[in-house]
Structure 1
Amino acid sequence: MMGKKEKRQALLKQLISETPFIKDKDIAKKLNVSIQTIRLDRLELSIPGLRDRIKDIAYHNLKEEIRSLPIEEVIGEIIDLELEKSAVSILEIEEKEHVFSRNQIVRGHYLFAQANSLAIAVINDELALTSKANIHFLKQVKQNEMIIAKAKVKGTDLGKRRTTVEVESFVRDEIVFSCEFEIYRSNLIGLKGEDRKVTSLI
């Protein structure tokens, strides 16, 4: 017969198996225990934390899909990608170098870098470069918050080989950053009816 701890750990494994991106604090609420208990259970079960789970899934599922830059060079973790259409990435603001020491507000270039690398990653081209960016910083982001960036391809000027990608970044459900990128591309693969491969992690 399973004891209380064994039952909890079995439920923990099931929750993470069904929802790989669930946070420790959300698991703790569901199981009515402390976050520390969940972390100890994960260690005993050799289950990595959220960040490492995301990296592992993203790396194995997307490394062959992204053509425009190595997945290791993407700022944030891409969790959804449909080439020439849309993409989603997340960036957890946990490190001290991400923020100003005086007020713990995120440095703006991290918001831009996450959005810019996502705009490039969504392009189905081995050479995709940022040509222009119209940036709007809309709200401060603080340390320990998670930024969700969502990219949408708006259209392509075939003559100029420029694709417009709109990226909006959110903390919870509130928009904090937006940018319209103009991306130069070396070819027009994926724009004339070729099949598009779709990879989704959510």
Structure 2
Amino acid sequence: MARYCKVERRKVLGEELSKHPFFTDEELAERFGVSVSTIRLDRGELGIPELRERTWAVANEAYSALKSLDNKELIGELVELVVGESACSKLMIDESMVLAKARVARGHYLFAQANSLSIALVDAPMALTGSVELKFVRPVHLGEIVVAQGSVLKRKQNKYWVQVSLNVDSEEVFLGNWILFAIEDPSATGNGDG
């Protein structure tokens, strides 16, 4: 780890937080080899808000980009969305989502998080799931936070190929490959849903 003088550290800190706004002050302090209070002072001097405010700003920006579904239809909390490219959401597994005996998440919650994120990636007023290949890698337990990462692999006319990976910490727990159809005129489909 390189040691930085104050001016260099602040410059690099600003660059890091513009690329990765979810770093905590503790993670940054460890990365730069300084105290948490030094990081807070640096952020203050740079006019960079604390993590909670940065998270709120990024989430608001992501939700404003939603086109193919309503924000209430998305399962999990949207963290990042670049329509037609990539997206990220997170979901805390709570008591209402687990099987009573096993204390693991019901599969339909994980599928719903991944499916709604894949639909959010489609650049159209509406999208329908055509097919899905998926693999549950390991059970997800009560209290774990599931982070979904989705990306558009290919697009041809109104057809999208999307891959979504669900992870707990850095461990993959679910992987799915979607084929979705963009619907430009929702009234032309009757009353189907995503």
The two structures have a TM-score, normalised by structure 1, of 0.63
Deviation at 1:96, TM superposition (A): 1.3
Change (3 A) 1:53 1:91: farther
1:168 maps to 165
Counterparts of 1:157 and 1:60, CA distance in 2:
30
Output the aligned Cα RMSD: 2.9
1:137–1:178 CA contact under 8 A, matched in 2: yes
2:63–2:78 CA contact under 8 A, matched in 1: no
Count of aligned pairs between the two proteins:
148
Q: Deviations over 1:130-169 (max 9, x none)?
A: 11111111111100101011101011232xx211100011
Counterparts of 2:146 and 2:174, CA distance in 1:
10
- The residue type equivalent to 2:168 in the other structure is V
1:163–1:183 CA contact under 8 A, matched in 2: yes
The two structures have a TM-score, normalised by structure 2, of 0.66
* Alignment gaps of 5+ in structure 1: 1-17, 32-49, 188-202
Deviation at 1:53, TM superposition (A): 8.6
5 Å matches for 1:87-106? 87-93=87-93, 95-106=94-105
Deviation at 1:58, TM superposition (A): 5.5
* Alignment gaps of 5+ in structure 2: 1-16, 28-34, 37-51, 185-194
1:127 maps to 126
5 Å matches for 1:172-183? 172-183=169-180
2:161–2:178 CA contact under 8 A, matched in 1: yes
1:9 maps to none
Change (3 A) 1:78 1:64: same
- The residue type equivalent to 1:73 in the other structure is E
Q: Tell me, what secondary structure is at the counterpart of 2:176?
A: strand
